[in-house]
Structure 1
Amino acid sequence: MKYIYELHKTMVSRKLMLVYEGEFTQEITKSVLSMAERNMDSIGEESGIKRKVFNVMVECLQNIVKHADEFSAVVDMRNSAIFMIGKENDDYVITSGNPIKGDKVDLLRNKLDEINSLDKEGLKALYKEIIKNGDLSDKGGAGLGFVDMARKSGQKLEYDFEPLENNVFFFSLKTTISRKALD
């Protein structure tokens, strides 16, 4: 039972407002969004910040749901993913993680590196280009969600790929949204 207290201490020390680990469905996604929104309402967060946080949360959760069906029995974790939102000083930190197939790692890394190399105007231009050229996959891809997350946060997207087994990697993504006014 001590692990519950240790988990609680970790959540408090890292100022985590919400953590969910497990299978993600549209219904669970709606519940997670609703809980996070209530939490921000309870602390009196301003609507502009809530809107940015909510937008990034939606993109993270949609990414998890879109890719959850690819892992029936490939790894022990199956459809297991994680989503967290916390506050650090004047920032909201949204972190997600989910398994992805190894053949997607280079493409995803290249997209994220391209997005992280752009300034505000470059992100705007890339967003318009993706919309215009419609390079969208059947899962909605093309990186539009990542571009939108970078635009809303005004920060670089942090990511990592942890090797699992059977050419599967655990993709972690961290987005930081400042509560201070962005230029």
Structure 2
Amino acid sequence: MMDTSAASSAVETPKPCWTAVANIIRERHYGPGGAEIRLGTKHFAPGAKVYVIDWYGGMCQRIIVVGLHRKSRRYITLTIDVRLVENLRPKVCYDPTAIAKFNEHYPSNSRSNYNYTNYLTKEFAETVCQSIPLWQLNYKAAAETPELSADEIEFRRPRTLLSRLQVFLSFIFKN
């Protein structure tokens, strides 16, 4: 008969890691002019807890999250819009199924000793929690700026060779 302590030590528990944890927004406006209100997203229920594990820093629009799918009740990795999350906070993730998804996103390389634990640190989680609200404010500010009408836009005529030559010569004679 096998000892239970030996059996539990044979199953290796994954190392916990820091992530930014967020909740999916409850209501969001949808459709032309935001006339329709939808609850949650297509893949996540409203208020669902998701782990933010990566982002596209140059774009400031999308983040990669791991969370329970609203219908299959399985963990999925998905890229979503930053406006769809709220209540960001840094936390340690102990869930072995979620950590397995982190491993899928950050595959370990046989040449280097790099894996998700090298990337998902407390500093990264705090940076995500500070940056994403700023990205959301950028979206809000961009939505509030009025767009120019066709009458307000001044179209430039393409420059001819003669006008380019005049600009060039005026530059040379000034210097």
Q: Which has the larger Rg? A: 2
- Which structure's residues are more often helix, by fraction? 1
Structure with greater contact order relative to length (CA < 8 Å, sep ≥ 6) = 1
Bin the TM-score by the shorter chain.
Answer: under 0.3
